[in-house]
Amino acid sequence: MTRNIQAPTYYVPQLGDGPPVFLAGDVAGEQDWQAQAGAQLANAGAVVLNPRQAGVPDTGLAEASQQAAWACQHRRLPTLVMLFWFPRTDPAAVAVTALLELGAELIRPRSPQRRLVVGAAPGYPCRGEILLQIANERPDLVVHHTLDRVIAAATQELAALGAGRRARTAPVRLR
């Protein structure tokens, strides 16, 4: 069963949880792509970590600090699918924090328990820079061009992580 955890609520792992997926990208823009992603991941058996705070206006430093702390803690989970989506947006409204988070994830040491999935819409102002950075840091990584495709790729990664998790947590038979 998929669980949805939305900021500012912190994720507390529970028995039977699937692997978590962090919805990284613009959280302040008009387009609530995280809601669409959460709905499409409903059958993935994952824990969806959504940094977009519903109904909380972006009013200043205190909210930004709380948001950054929440995101930072959840991005540090040892088992995680990081799903980045960069939607078409006004060039003046580019989410710089999301680009910094992507850069940090690109240079993070690889682990079989962490997966990275990236998508950038053709109308995203920094799409070219994202493609260049990924080509240099992670040439094996595909940059998807639609939200549906990035969600499908994340679903595949969640399934791979979930299968590995189940294999490691299989009951031990005592004789």
Per-residue pLDDT tens over the stretch 36-80: 999 999 999 999 999 998 765 556 677 778 888 999 999 999 999
In tens, the pLDDT along 86-135 reads 999 999 989 899 999 999 999 999 999 999 999 999 999 999 999 999 99
| Residue 69 contacts residue 8 (beta carbons within 8 Å) | no
Return the CA Rg of the chain.
16
Q: Residue 71 has what pLDDT?
A: 94
Which residues does residue 80 pair with via DSSP β-bridges, in sequence order? Answer: 114
Looking at residue 173, what is its pLDDT? 43
81 CB neighbour count, 10 Å cutoff: 28
Q: Is 72 helix (H, G, I), strand (E, B) or coil?
A: helix
Average pLDDT over the chain reads: 89
Residue 77: per-residue pLDDT: 96
Residues paired with residue 83 on neighbouring β-strands, in sequence order: 23, 117
- 125 burial level (CB within 10 Å; 0-12, 13-18, 19+): middle
The model's confidence at residue 175, banded by pLDDT at 50, 70 and 90, is very low
For tokens 């069963």, the residue is: 1
Pairing outcome for strands 20-25 and 3-6: unpaired
pLDDT digits (tens, 9 = 90+) for 127-167: 999 999 999 999 999 999 999 999 999 999 999 998 555 43
* Domains of the chain from N-terminus onward: 3-7+17-52+63-168 (3.40.50.450)
Angle, alpha carbons 46-88-114 (nearest 5°): 30
